[in-house]
Amino acid sequence: MSAAEKLHQDGSACPGLNYPPPPCPDDRRELRRRVLGRPWFHRIDLGDGLITPGIDDTPAKLRYLRLPARLDGLTVLDIGAYDGFFSFACERRGAVRVVAADRFCWTYGGMASKEGFDLARTALRSRVEEAFVRVEEISPDRLGTFDLVLFLGVLYHAPDPLHYLRNVRSVCRGQLVLETHLDALDYPHPAAVYYPGAVLNNDASNHWGPNPACVEAMLREVGFRRIEQICLYHGTRAVYHAFV
């Protein structure tokens, strides 16, 4: 385990759930049946020992992000929200408004559907809003602007990363938290590896693996001023905080 990983293993910025569970035991039984009857990407704690069985270790990822412990009064946009783990986490930390935006994994069947987000939002009695929108369509006119923007696990899906980052910057009036896959880590100049077809993880939606210098240069190019790499984990994943 790297020093950076150790630093963020304590979970201190990760307080437990405090949503009220639905009161009726029959409702809880039905909720459990529905939760365990579908595939999930995120592991969301729905209370009473019920955690959505996601294939992604989302609680670990949350620790790597180093989100502020409290977000009282702030607005948050979670781009590529999927099952909504990070949107709900921000709401729990006191954000006054949270918008979960997604498109592709809210469109198809099975795990790539919005059913998980809807189920978790209802179970948590969450007020997280939804925006069925592609990154290509994001703008202040469409969504407004936000104090905190989460852009987690989406950049390498971009055919045109600068276009995506410009749209992300356009709706960010405070801080961006970016989580991404990296490549070419030993190359000192800004560069990105292109993945034709499905060469990265057998997934044709993966297009680019930027190196750290490239991520920082692109963030600067679209108008972020202070940029910090917060951690590098699992060899090729990184978290950046960037400020307007």
Which residue has the CB atom at the shortest distance from ligand SAM?
Answer: 80
Asked whether the beta carbons of 74 and 91 are under 8 A apart, the reply is no
Strand-by-strand arrangement of the 129-132 sheet: 129-132, 97-102, 75-79, 146-152, 172-181, 237-243, 226-233
How far apart are alpha carbons 102 and 92 in whole angstroms? 20
The one segment of 6-14, 118-126, 150-158, 221-229 that binds ligand SAM by CB under 6 A: 150-158
89 near ligand SAM, rule: CB under 6 A: no
Residue 240 Cβ vs ligand SAM, minimum distance, rounded to whole Å = 14
Residue 189 Cβ vs ligand SAM, minimum distance, rounded to whole Å = 27
The one segment of 4-12, 120-128, 130-138, 220-228 that binds ligand SAM by CB under 6 A: 130-138
The one segment of 15-23, 26-34, 100-108, 186-194 that binds ligand SAM by CB under 6 A: 100-108
Residues 20-79 that bind ligand SAM (CB under 6 A): 56
How far apart are alpha carbons 183 and 160 in whole angstroms? 16
Residue number, 75 or 180, with CB nearest to ligand SAM? 180
List 44, 46, 67, 80, residue binding ligand SAM (CB under 6 A): 80
Query: Within 13 A of 241's CA, how many CA atoms are on the CB side?
Result: 12
Amino acid at 13: A
134 near ligand SAM, rule: CB under 6 A: yes
Residue 13 Cβ vs ligand SAM, minimum distance, rounded to whole Å = 16
Residue 243 Cβ vs ligand SAM, minimum distance, rounded to whole Å = 20
- CA nearest neighbour of 135 among 101, 106, 90, 176: 101
List 157, 169, 181, 207, residue binding ligand SAM (CB under 6 A): 157
Query: Within 13 A of 52's CA, how many CA atoms are on the CB side?
Result: 31
Residue 34, SS3 per DSSP: helix
In the DSSP assignment, the letter for residue 45 is B
14 near ligand SAM, rule: CB under 6 A: no
Tokens at residue 129, please? 């809003």
Number of residues that bind ligand SAM (CB under 6 A): 15
Residue number, 91 or 179, with CB nearest to ligand SAM? 179
The one segment of 66-74, 97-105, 225-233, 235-243 that binds ligand SAM by CB under 6 A: 97-105
Vertex 46: Cα angle to 112 and 143 (nearest 5): 55
The residues facing 208 across adjacent strands are 194
Instruction: Provide the CA 36 distance to its chain's centre, in angstroms.
Output: 23
Residue number, 22 or 124, with CB nearest to ligand SAM? 124
First to last CA, the chain: 32
- The site for ligand SAM (CB under 6 A) is made up of 56, 80, 82, 102-105, 134-136, 152-154, 157, 179
